[in-house]
């Protein structure tokens, strides 16, 4: 992170980062993670996993390298993943979800 960066900036126009610690030696930045479907703020991470690719595009994300996956469940009912994909020295932050599974979570429960 450069020294001239503003105390607030955005990630891909979706999330706002703010500076938590003004310490000169190691400033800390944070972003509130919300549900990518409905932007609900209460989300719970599950156990992380790594999908190995061996540089063969085998990690199910479109890039050449491995994929780190951190699954989330949201108190809104949605299920989604925050991932980091690696490709030739670059890292890509990816939010992905199963649209069909989450459409079922969006439906109102039927009355008995």
Assigned domain for 80 exists: yes
- Residue 16: which domain range? 1-32
**pTM assigned to the model:** 0.70
97/70 Cα distance (integer angstroms): 12
Assigned domain for 37 exists: no
pLDDT at position 2 over 70: no
Q: Do 28 and 54 have their domain in common?
A: no
Q: Do 5 and 57 have their domain in common?
A: no
Q: Do 66 and 101 have their domain in common?
A: yes
Structure tokens at 9: 């900036």
Q: Among 25-39, 42-56, 97-111, where is mean pLDDT lowest?
A: 97-111
Residues 6+ apart with CB under 8 A from 95: 36, 80, 81, 82, 83
């Amino acid at each position: 992170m450069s020294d001239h960066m503003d105390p607030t900036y955005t990630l891909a126009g979706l999330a706002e980062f703010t500076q938590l610690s003004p310490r000169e030696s190691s400033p800390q930045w944070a972003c509130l993670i919300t549900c990518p479907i409905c932007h609900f703020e209460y989300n719970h991470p599950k156990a992380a996993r790594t999908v190995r690719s061996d540089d063969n595009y085998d990690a199910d994300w479109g890039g050449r390298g491995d994929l780190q996956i951190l699954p989330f469940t949201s108190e809104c009912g949605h299920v989604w993943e925050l991932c980091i994909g690696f490709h030739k020295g670059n890292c890509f932050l990816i939010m992905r979800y199963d649209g069909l599974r989450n459409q079922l979570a969006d439906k109102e429960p039927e009355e008995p």
